[in-house]
Structure 1
């Protein structure tokens, strides 16, 4: 059976369509993906209110983010393989059920341990549903043209979710309190739980291979340790013993994982999958785009509130032009790919993204939104919209149906690890730059602005490196 035939038949090589209403099914699955991406950013603006209500200091508040990212990034590959093994719809529904329950628990939290535990459960549940959902999308649309359109929508959801998190976080916190950023997940999640069984057919017999438990343990340990080390960099610095220790543990786990995968009969991640140049190039590009995006939204939100003195609601509303440009371009991206090719669309999008970030880096400490921020925001939205769509499509290009969950886990892992890496490194660079200027007697607002400018320039650098990685893909029109 050819790669294309295997991909079109799905993980169980079935010929029966997964849905008779596949575009509606895609919309419902995209809602779940939107919640997953949204929850990584919507909490940011609500953190001060959470800290005041639950009496959490700055270090503890950072763990509200980390408690979600650690299990999410650490369990994604395992989640993808579980979906391949036990059925994509089954694992997806298990994940969304856990996500809704954890969101309710977070909203009702009356102590910091309860909130952190709920966030960890949210992250673990997201690691199950995200790769399973992407695998279902690839099965719903076996044809090349329709799949391009579907993945265009999927990539747009990933970008819009991150941008919308800042907007919705400000609106909900200002209007209803910090609990609303968690409770908003419940009605949407329940809708997904009700509709998916009606729109997507039952899973057929799962893969006959045994799950690689040693590989699952070591890769999960490596991802947990690496994300933990990156989070420690942001909170403790590069030279702190905790940071160094976690980095060493991550390296040891990674070496053990590679050795195991080379020897077991049914590996968790067949290393031969990286012979697919498009998959490798797409994941590397997504890693770098994820790093640029997370660093951008973090720095832009703080810059607007700490330097320009916008309140939470205003800071959120200013993200609308960026999000709007992203949505429009993501909708147009499939047509552009059909005209000029996937590689050209991806590299062009990354070049536009880098240009917008460099432009944003020139914003002064007394910036006027219309004069200094609106233009680069639109340009950044255009670049992100094209980059997310095409990088996602590239990362699942040519993957056989039995490895669809694995491909979904890989591309989501790349985005999460890239986000943690980009934020840790660029936030440390910004802090060092701001500290040095303050020591020289520079005014606080100017020192902060300079630090954020370095974040934007660093994010532009990541986008350009991603453009180089995309050039190594093998894809035409």
Structure 2
């Protein structure tokens, strides 16, 4: 088949859709305090604004990729766009916490259709290797820059319009992309064995939901409560059943051979740990900036810009060094930088300076993460068979999103427990003067933030240890490039 003469226009449409998906992973972060206050969401439950999206998105990405391949990539892409717009409208109109959580979950569901369809459309649209590399470069740039745009846009919309516009802004973007995609994007689909692994998708998603919900119940009922233990035990059973089913079915959602390569398995573990540590950090830093320091949503969004810029700059450096140094050296240096930067944040107080206490950590951490992200994607895709390239690529995004879901729930629980413990230990101080109770709450929040940042540092340290212990960095590894049909992961 000759190259599609409108392929570059099609790429523009696909890139816009990808930008929308990436934006949604960060744009809502800045609006969290406003949304929590407007809808009277408890501290224990506020993490579901983030987690409901990342959990369904990450949990269904692999299944969404299969649907795109079998049902039709263009058709799935269009359905994903319309569904994402509808879910955004529901979230923007939410009058209570349940509606907002449900809307965010629906956004994740349709995002799980949209993202893999977009990746596979690029693969089948650009068949010439040089052009495909250019197309993936554009796609990767959108994915990396989208996080920065989302943080800034979230601040602008929350400050000058309303937090609801952080969701409603998706509607015109999705509609325009839908209209443009109809004439510009070609349809394609896989043939042959096109059976869906529905039991695998149900078990995997249910297991992840049970795990996150178990962490959430720990914040309100305690780690030793029957409800918490029941949900966590259910998660172990469901995820164990998923692995058992995948080893037995003839058309697995996740072929286990993809996991058993030492370097690839290590990259997935690192992806989970980093997703957990980073998204948890963003959650608490947003509340620290707005509720403790009293910053506006816009000022908070601008404060994150050096972090996003540092990741992009470091990614450029890492892509040039990777062929010479291999993945292990870059990921080790990056992990150590990120861990040290997170430890630095545990020193925050009621009146910490952004210039001396936060900015240096953001710069060092972002550079460290950039040094990790590029080789991690290469490590996960190098040496994989062509027919497994799609699932191996999707697994990088899946593990990062699932790690973010679990980390946000776990760290929010740790934060809530730490705050409650601090208030109990210092309750006598609350009666000393009229303003003592308010000051106690402020100090308790600072204590909770620092404990949560300590937990994030431990997660990043574990990821670094996994790199040191598990990753093999031979000269052959340095020369290996990702499979042709693989697509770059994004860490928005």
TM-score calculated relative to the size of structure 1: 0.84
1:433-463 residue CA offsets vs partner (Å, 9 max, x unmatched): 4444444438644443343233223322222
Equivalence for 2:488: none
Whether the 8 Å CA contact 2:274–2:459 is kept in 1: the answer is yes
Equivalence for 1:399: 384
> Structure 2 residue aligned with 1:125, among 89, 93, 110?
110
Deviation at 1:427, TM superposition (A): 3.1
Equivalence for 1:8: none
Equivalence for 2:489: none
> Structure 2 residue aligned with 1:377, among 355, 362, 365?
362
Equivalence for 2:459: 462
* Cα pair distance change 1:206/1:194, threshold 3 Å: farther
1:193-222 residue CA offsets vs partner (Å, 9 max, x unmatched): 345566654314435242223323322322
Deviation at 1:248, TM superposition (A): 2.0
Whether the 8 Å CA contact 2:33–2:290 is kept in 1: the answer is no
Whether the 8 Å CA contact 2:69–2:190 is kept in 1: the answer is no
Equivalence for 2:81: 96
Deviation at 1:469, TM superposition (A): 2.7
Other structure's SS at 2:62 match:
helix
Equivalence for 1:296: 281
Whether the 8 Å CA contact 1:155–1:330 is kept in 2: the answer is no
Equivalence for 1:323: 308
Equivalence for 2:478: 476
> Structure 2 residue aligned with 1:40, among 4, 25, 32?
25
Unaligned runs of 5+ in 1: 1-14
* Cα pair distance change 1:258/1:372, threshold 3 Å: closer
How far apart in 1 are the matches of 2:262 and 2:132? 19
* Cα pair distance change 1:139/1:277, threshold 3 Å: farther
Deviation at 1:138, TM superposition (A): 5.5
Deviation at 1:310, TM superposition (A): 1.8
How far apart in 2 are the matches of 1:19 and 1:355? 50
Whether the 8 Å CA contact 1:155–1:392 is kept in 2: the answer is no
Other structure's SS at 1:101 match:
helix
Unaligned runs of 5+ in 2: 430-438, 480-492
Whether the 8 Å CA contact 2:152–2:302 is kept in 1: the answer is yes
Alignment of 1:192-341 (within 5 A): 192-196=177-181, 201-234=186-219, 236-341=221-326
Equivalence for 2:449: 452
How far apart in 1 are the matches of 2:319 and 2:131? 9
Equivalence for 2:432: none
How far apart in 2 are the matches of 1:412 and 1:236? 32
Deviation at 1:287, TM superposition (A): 0.6
Say which is worse superposed, 148-157 or 301-310, in terms of deviation. Answer: 148-157
Alignment of 1:164-179 (within 5 A): 164-179=149-164
Whether the 8 Å CA contact 2:337–2:364 is kept in 1: the answer is yes
Number of aligned positions between the proteins:
462
Whether the 8 Å CA contact 2:70–2:189 is kept in 1: the answer is no
> Structure 1 residue aligned with 2:92, among 107, 126, 143?
107
How far apart in 2 are the matches of 1:92 and 1:473? 36
Coordinate RMSD, CA, aligned: 3.3
TM-score calculated relative to the size of structure 2: 0.81
Whether the 8 Å CA contact 1:135–1:404 is kept in 2: the answer is no
* Cα pair distance change 1:141/1:403, threshold 3 Å: farther
* Cα pair distance change 1:323/1:84, threshold 3 Å: same
Whether the 8 Å CA contact 2:280–2:408 is kept in 1: the answer is yes
* Cα pair distance change 1:274/1:144, threshold 3 Å: farther
Other structure's SS at 2:478 match:
coil
1:310-358 residue CA offsets vs partner (Å, 9 max, x unmatched): 2322222211221222222234432232343333333322222222222
How far apart in 2 are the matches of 1:149 and 1:473? 29
Deviation at 1:113, TM superposition (A): 4.9
Deviation at 1:182, TM superposition (A): 0.9
How far apart in 2 are the matches of 1:198 and 1:330? 35
Whether the 8 Å CA contact 1:84–1:406 is kept in 2: the answer is no
How far apart in 1 are the matches of 2:222 and 2:298? 31
How far apart in 1 are the matches of 2:465 and 2:128? 29
2:330 counterpart of 1:345: yes
